[in-house]
Structure 1
Amino acid sequence: MKNIITFVLTVLTSFVMLAEVSSSDKAVLIKLYNTTQGNNWKAKWDLNAPVNTWYGIKLDGDKVVSIDLRNNNLVGELPAEIVSLVDLQELNLHKNKLSGFIPRDLGNLKKLKVLDLSFNQIEGAIPSSISKLNNLKQVELYMNRLSGELPAQIGNLQQLEVLSLFNNEIEGQIPNSLYEIKTLKTLLLNSNMMVGKLSPKIAELTKLENLSLFENKFEGQVPFELEKLNQLKEMNISYNKFSGLTSRRLAVLDTLNMTMVNDKGVAVLLDIAMEIQRPLVSEQ
């Protein structure tokens, strides 16, 4: 009987030890709690309780692998120390009141698969180190105050499926490397300040299902190559400065039927002109 009790106690002790986070990871979580006014969170942490009982925290052994504190009234800035949680696979802080900048050394989170900082008040540029996160599948940074240009090497994210950056103040052109992300299904860059042309290389994004470039300053020819995207179900590239010809199929697919802004700042609906082989659309 004594041996059985000893065995049970040993198993329970081992379980508790496995469920408890490392001291370094715990220190980072406490820093996050303090810098984002944890006492005012909707779901608060009992800092005296085991970390595996803290709301929104998931552990694997003694390592933090997920932080999901969406819509929990976090107020303040992300601590730079969060990038030391090197086993983190998910960081979801959607719809809070976070301000400040995305940590510059974000690229330290090599195992990160989901990054969702959407619907906050974060500003500054997307750090170039994000291009080191080869396991990323989902990047949701929409509805913030982000500025600057997209990282030139964003195409290194070869497992990325969702890139959602709408409603920010992002400038510059679409990096050529982005067209190399063959896994991309959703690309939402609408309502920013982006410029330049949409490359015919867009046809290389063969898994793309949703494309939105609405309300930017893109110009030039709408690439006919968009027709090659057989998986494309939703598209809105209107309210840009695209001109020239486009096919009827693309005009119908576009949510606003290719309504562009001309040189005078007036919204114009592109006319449909007929060609021998297929109908085309041209700007008046």
Structure 2
Amino acid sequence: MKTAKLTMLFCFVTLLSFGNISTKEKEALKDLYNSTKGALWRTTWNLDKPVLEWYGVVVKDNKVIELNLEFNNLRGKIPASIGDLVHLRHVNFFRNRITGAIPSTIENLKSLQSLNISFNMLNEPLPNEIGELKSLRQLKLFMNAIGGEIPSTIGQLSHLKTLELYNNQLTGELPSTIGDLINLKEMLLSSNKLSGKLPSSISNAKTLEKLSVFDNNFFGILPNSICNLIHLEELVLSNNAFYGNLPTNLASLINLKVLLIGNNDFKGELALLKGQLPNLKQFDFVNVNNQGTIATLDEEEDDN
């Protein structure tokens, strides 16, 4: 009788340990498995075993808080039911073959701190609902084929520190709400099809350390307010259509280590900048024209 009671107690403890993950969360995980061809994953799941034993799934207090499935051959779309994993803090799907869109149901993930779906095949616009991820600190979606505009709701991510959207097909202007990202340290938007002028509101992101918009279709005069970004260490503006004189106070950005402004139409004695920026280690201001020759921009006459 005593043995039977101990057995029942053990079963009860086991049930508490493995059985309290909600049915809704478990079904959402199964949906992810099925929609991304889980049977073909490098490390697959045995759906008959407890969720705690599923590769890449981190459970705490009977809640799914992390999905770490990088380099795991996920193929297909992220199901809408991912929004049912409401306790997620970290999602890492780096280097897979995920297609389609980030579902709008992602707005339910209020505790999400990092989202990495880089090096995949996402090919639809970012959902406006991405602005609902109020706890997000890292957003890494580089090396996909994401089109459309950057939603203005991105400015609602007030805790965001890292924004990496380079090597996509993003179009349109950079929303002025980008300046609302007051904790942002890195904004990497290179190799897209973004256009328009850099919004002056970017100066409100005062903690910014790295700003790269290389290889886009930005144009116009660089806003003077960019000189307020006193923590900038890297400023990469090459291969756009910026023109005119650089801001007069650019030399006040004394923390700059990398300044790449070539292949634009800036004017003035650009070569002098190197001597005015004491920490500069990488500096490029030359323009390679269509004939393949190199011309320093400070040889051009100032229109003013």
Same fold (TM over 0.5): yes
The residue identity in structure 2 corresponding to 1:258 is I
Counterpart of 2:12 in structure 1 is 13
Give distance in 2, aligned partners of 1:83 and 1:131. 14
* Counterpart mapping for 1:155-170 below 5 A: 155-170=155-170
1:260–1:270 CA contact under 8 A, matched in 2: no
Give distance in 2, aligned partners of 1:256 and 1:42. 41
Give distance in 2, aligned partners of 1:252 and 1:158. 24
Shift of 1:84: 1.4
Q: 1:12 to 1:208 in 2, by over 3 A?
A: farther
- Root-mean-square deviation (CA), in Å? 2.9
1:251–1:258 CA contact under 8 A, matched in 2: no
Give distance in 1, aligned partners of 2:130 and 2:45. 29
User: TM-score, structure 2 length as denominator?
Assistant: 0.81
Counterpart of 1:272 in structure 2 is 270
Answer yes or no: is 1:107 the counterpart of 2:110.
no
Q: 1:237 to 1:254 in 2, by over 3 A?
A: farther
Counterpart of 1:259 in structure 2 is 262
Q: 1:168 to 1:283 in 2, by over 3 A?
A: farther
Counterpart of 1:188 in structure 2 is 188
Counterpart of 2:72 in structure 1 is 72
Q: 1:273 to 1:22 in 2, by over 3 A?
A: closer
The residue identity in structure 2 corresponding to 1:14 is V
The worse-fitting range, judged by mean Cα deviation, of 27-36 and 185-194 is: 27-36
The residue identity in structure 1 corresponding to 2:104 is R
Counterpart of 2:147 in structure 1 is 147
Counterpart of 1:61 in structure 2 is 61
* Counterpart mapping for 1:195-210 below 5 A: 195-210=195-210
The residue identity in structure 1 corresponding to 2:262 is T
Give distance in 1, aligned partners of 2:204 and 2:168. 26
Q: Secondary structure at the match of 2:121?
A: coil
* Counterpart mapping for 1:30-49 below 5 A: 30-49=30-49
1:166–1:191 CA contact under 8 A, matched in 2: yes
1:113-153 CA-partner distances (Å, limit 9, x unpaired)? 11111110011110001111111111111111101111112
1:167-204 CA-partner distances (Å, limit 9, x unpaired)? 00101111111101111011011111111111232222
The residue identity in structure 2 corresponding to 1:111 is S
1:238–1:256 CA contact under 8 A, matched in 2: no
Q: 1:26 to 1:274 in 2, by over 3 A?
A: closer
2:245–2:267 CA contact under 8 A, matched in 1: no
Give distance in 1, aligned partners of 2:168 and 2:160. 20
1:245–1:282 CA contact under 8 A, matched in 2: no
Counterpart of 1:83 in structure 2 is 83
Give distance in 2, aligned partners of 1:16 and 1:182. 45
Answer yes or no: is 1:238 the counterpart of 2:203.
no
2:161–2:186 CA contact under 8 A, matched in 1: yes
Give distance in 1, aligned partners of 2:238 and 2:89. 36
Give distance in 1, aligned partners of 2:10 and 2:183. 44
**Runs (5+) with no aligned partner, structure 2:** 278-296
Could you list the structure 1 runs, at least 4 aligned residues long, displaced by more than 4 angstroms after superposition: 5-9, 250-256, 268-271
Aligned-pair identity in percent equals 35
Aligned residues: 275
1:54-82 CA-partner distances (Å, limit 9, x unpaired)? 11101122221111101111111111111
Shift of 1:282: 6.0
Q: 1:83 to 1:270 in 2, by over 3 A?
A: farther
Shift of 1:257: 3.5
2:81–2:105 CA contact under 8 A, matched in 1: no
The residue identity in structure 1 corresponding to 2:145 is R
Shift of 1:9: 6.4
Q: Secondary structure at the match of 1:59?
A: strand
The residue identity in structure 2 corresponding to 1:43 is T
Shift of 1:6: 5.4
Q: 1:234 to 1:56 in 2, by over 3 A?
A: same
Give distance in 2, aligned partners of 1:227 and 1:183. 17
Q: Secondary structure at the match of 1:105?
A: helix
**Runs (5+) with no aligned partner, structure 1:** 263-267
